[in-house]
């Protein structure tokens, strides 16, 4: 179990002991306690799991056909490679079946030749060639029409995707423009307030530099005033722009509805062009209004910079009373820079929206329907071409049947079917003979052989079990307290009990049960840890231990775990200060077998612990 689980037991066990030690201290001249200092240490919380080794994969190898085992070519424990023979079935009957099938095919072929012998061989060959050519033409036609249809589908999908993404981008940027314009115009008042505060913060006597600075600040304020005056023009332009934007959206929605209903879209396309023209004009007006206000903000920033320069001249920069004014001007300049950047952002958004609207205009204006119609046309023309090629093939096949006259066509067909049936029988007999040899599908170690020579085996019944020893896992169970700290991919240290001379090896968690299994009334979760580089001596079934570090703290403040008390859900430690015991609340962190990370105490504090024997301390700490 983890250190955290051990910590709970240790705290419960020590409460009574520590309480008793405190009472003894209060009643006895020789207190039954000792102290240890709060110190810093590295704490590593480890989850330990015991389990058994098993192969990562197990393959059950079986014959495809039933039969009697003739020979067993491997033994349990043998290492085999992929393709290596494992066992054989008695094959005499199978060999006879192959010989009979070959004779049957020869007879069927002779019968077929006899049926078709009525026609000249060269005529039959020409008819057969026509069938072959028609078949190749049919296959080529299907391939070409499929390619044309795929190309039309790609073109339509690409256009439809660009159309939809432009609609989305237009709407999202439109919402951002409205918000950004409000932010831009509302910034003028705050900037003017900053300039007014700068004038109030002049406390020095008037000098040439101060007079020049005040004049420049006045110019900046006047420019901002002009920008505020432009605010109404921006507001009016924004209202017209929003209306035009909504008109564009309404127009494309009408187009989308017409496309969905399969009706004429020319009216919707005309409406969109009108809406786009109105939107372009509104965008031009809004951009001009924003540019005018932005120019005033730039002029204000320039004047503020001039004021800042006057206050930083060789004669004025030593005047500390002007520091507040300088700071005010720096704040204003930063705000003006932000306003200018926001204006540039708005210009970029409006340009991008215009680009989106242009993409939508192309689609509404005809490219969308053209691509859609091209897709439908490719489908129709492809179907027609395939039908024509199929008819040509059918005609060639009918001509081949007729060329064999005076033999009747159904006689030829029946004879040909006999050949196919005989060929199928031969193929099956040959396959059954090949299946009499059982080979290893993968490399591995033979774990079990289920039948011996002379025994009958059924088709599909596992005969040989192969274990893939190139990868082994250790399977164990963890409790519900520990499973919350584990996850797939964590690095682990694995010790195999039977391989004592070997050092612990590394591994990683590969599976973790999502649902608990109840064992003796306790919920547990299965876990598999795959060993990274397994020792060749490791065998399935060996027991071992896994250690997984789930938390590690360096240089933490720690106290002995058994020094922690618990009362009403709170955790405390007893600190000896000026000869008195003081209960100090603490918060717990990572814990290992002996110490626990705490906060709420200072390094060097004397922590009261029970005066216990070594055996008692060990017993308490491990509960």
Per-run averaged pLDDT (10 residues), the chain, 623 residues: 49 42 42 83 85 78 86 84 85 83 88 73 82 89 88 88 91 90 84 86 84 90 86 88 93 91 90 93 92 89 89 86 87 86 90 92 87 85 88 86 72 86 88 83 82 85 78 87 86 83 80 90 90 79 85 89 85 91 90 86 90 46 33
CA distance 182 to 176: 10
8 A C-beta contact, residue 538 and residue 507: no
Q: Encoding tokens for residue 53?
A: 């080794």
This prediction's pTM: 0.41
Residue with tokens 């809406």: 275
Contacts of 615 (CB under 8 A, 6+ apart): none
Q: Encoding tokens for residue 114?
A: 């006899």
Q: Encoding tokens for residue 4?
A: 């955290």
Query: How large is the angle between the packed helices 208-261 and 266-311, nearest 10 degrees?
Result: 170
CA distance 307 to 330: 10
Tell me which of 1.10.3470, 3.90.930, 3.30.70, 1.20.1170 is the CATH number of domain 147-385: 1.20.1170
Q: Report the SS3 class of residue 496.
A: strand
Peptide bond into 406 cis (omega under 30): yes
Cα distances (Å, whole numbers) of residue 95 to 25, 326, 375, 609: 97, 106, 57, 87
Residue with tokens 């249809």: 149
Question: Which residue in 138, 35, 118, 54 sits closest to 393, CA to CA?
Answer: 138
Q: Other CB atoms closer than 10 Å to residue 427's CB: what's the count?
A: 12
CATH homologous superfamily of 3-55+469-621: Efflux pump adaptor protein, beta barrel domain (2.40.30.170)
Q: Other CB atoms closer than 10 Å to residue 546's CB: what's the count?
A: 25
3-state helix, strand, coil in the chain (%, to 5): 55, 25, 20
Q: Other CB atoms closer than 10 Å to residue 322's CB: what's the count?
A: 23
Per residue in 10-22, pLDDT (tens digit) is: 444 444 344 444 4
Q: Which residues pair with 53 in a beta bridge?
A: 474
Residue with tokens 């963890």: 478
Q: Which residues pair with 607 in a beta bridge?
A: 36, 575
The rounded radius of gyration (Å) of the Cα atoms in the chain is: 45
Q: Encoding tokens for residue 47?
A: 């989850």
Cα distances (Å, whole numbers) of residue 517 to 53, 485, 514, 526, 527: 20, 18, 10, 8, 12
Would you state the pLDDT for residue 21? 41
Cα end-to-end distance, the chain, whole Å:
11
Sign of CA dihedral 62, 66, 72, 75: positive
The torsion angles phi and psi of 262, rounded to 5 degrees, stand at 70, 30
CA distance 14 to 610: 8
Cα distances (Å, whole numbers) of residue 623 to 36, 217, 521: 21, 77, 21
Domain-by-domain residue ranges, the chain?
3-55+469-621, 147-385
Q: Encoding tokens for residue 451?
A: 């039948």
Q: Report the SS3 class of residue 39.
A: strand
CA distance 373 to 356: 23
Residue with tokens 């240290």: 493
Q: What angle do CA 68, 73, 78 make, to 5 degrees?
A: 135
């Amino acid at each position: 179990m983890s250190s955290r689980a051990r910590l709970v037991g240790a705290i419960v066990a020590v409460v009574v002991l520590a309480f008793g030690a405190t009472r003894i201290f209060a009643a006895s001249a020789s207190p039954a306690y000792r102290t240890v200092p709060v110190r810093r240490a590295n704490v590593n919380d480890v989850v330990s799991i015991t389990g058994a080794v098993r192969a990562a994969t197990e393959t059950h190898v079986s014959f495809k056909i039933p039969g009697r085992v003739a020979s067993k070519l491997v033994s349990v424990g043998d290492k085999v490679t992929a393709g290596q023979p494992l066992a054989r079935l008695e094959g005499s009957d199978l060999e006879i079946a192959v010989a009979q099938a070959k004779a049957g095919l020869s007879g069927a072929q002779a019968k077929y030749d006899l049926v078709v012998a009525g026609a000249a061989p060269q005529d039959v060959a020409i008819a057969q060639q026509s069938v072959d050519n028609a078949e190749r033409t049919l296959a080529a036609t299907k391939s070409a029409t499929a390619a044309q249809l795929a190309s039309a589908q790609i073109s339509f999908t690409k256009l439809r995707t660009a159309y939809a993404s432009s609609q989305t981008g237009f709407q999202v940027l439109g919402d951002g423009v409205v918000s950004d314009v409000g932010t831009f115009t509302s910034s003028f008042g705050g900037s003017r307030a900053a300039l007014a505060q700068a004038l109030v913060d002049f406390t020095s006597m008037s000098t040439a530099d101060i007079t020049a600075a005040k004049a420049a600040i006045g110019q900046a304020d006047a420019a901002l005033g002009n920008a505020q005056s432009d605010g109404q023009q921006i507001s009016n332009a924004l209202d017209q722009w929003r209306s035009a934007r909504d008109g564009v959206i309404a127009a494309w929605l009408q187009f989308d509805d017409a496309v969905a209903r399969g009706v004429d879209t020319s009216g919707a396309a005309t409406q969109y062009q009108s809406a786009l023209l109105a939107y372009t004009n509104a965008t031009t007006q809004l951009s001009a209004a924003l540019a005018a206000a932005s120019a005033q903000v730039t002029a204000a920033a320039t004047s503020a910079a001039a004021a800042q320069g006057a206050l930083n001249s060789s004669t004025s920069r030593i005047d500390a009373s002007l520091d507040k004014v300088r700071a005010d001007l720096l704040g204003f300049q930063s705000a003006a820079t932000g306003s200018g950047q926001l204006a540039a952002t708005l210009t970029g958004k409006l340009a991008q929206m215009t680009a989106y609207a242009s993409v939508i205009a192309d689609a509404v204006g005809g490219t969308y329907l053209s691509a859609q119609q091209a897709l439908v046309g490719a489908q129709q023309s492809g179907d027609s071409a395939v039908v024509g090629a199929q008819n040509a093939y059918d005609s060639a096949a009918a001509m081949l049947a007729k060329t064999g006259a005076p033999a009747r066509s159904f006689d030829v067909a029946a004879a040909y079917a006999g050949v196919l049936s005989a060929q199928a029988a031969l193929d099956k007999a040959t396959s059954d003979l090949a299946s009499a040899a059982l080979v290893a599908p993968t490399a591995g170690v033979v774990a079990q052989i289920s039948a011996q020579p002379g025994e009958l085996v059924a088709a599909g019944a596992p005969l040989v079990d192969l274990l893939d020893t190139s990868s082994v896992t250790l399977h164990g169970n963890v409790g519900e307290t520990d499973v919350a700290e584990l996850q797939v991919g964590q690095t682990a240290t694995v010790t195999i009990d039977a391989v004592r001379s070997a050092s612990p090896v590394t591994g990683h968690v590969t599976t973790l049960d999502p649902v608990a299994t109840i064992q003796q009334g306790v919920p547990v979760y299965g876990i598999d840890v795959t060993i990274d580089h397994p020792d060749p001596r490791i065998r399935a079934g060996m027991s071992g231990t896994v250690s997984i570090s789930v938390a590690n703290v360096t240089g933490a403040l720690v106290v002995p775990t058994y020094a922690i008390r618990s009362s009403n859900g709170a955790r405390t430690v007893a600190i000896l200060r000026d000869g008195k015991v003081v209960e100090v609340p603490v918060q717990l962190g990572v814990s290992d077998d002996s110490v626990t990370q705490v906060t709420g105490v200072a390094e060097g504090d004397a922590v009261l612990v029970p005066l216990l024997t070594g055996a008692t301390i060990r017993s308490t700490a491990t509960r």
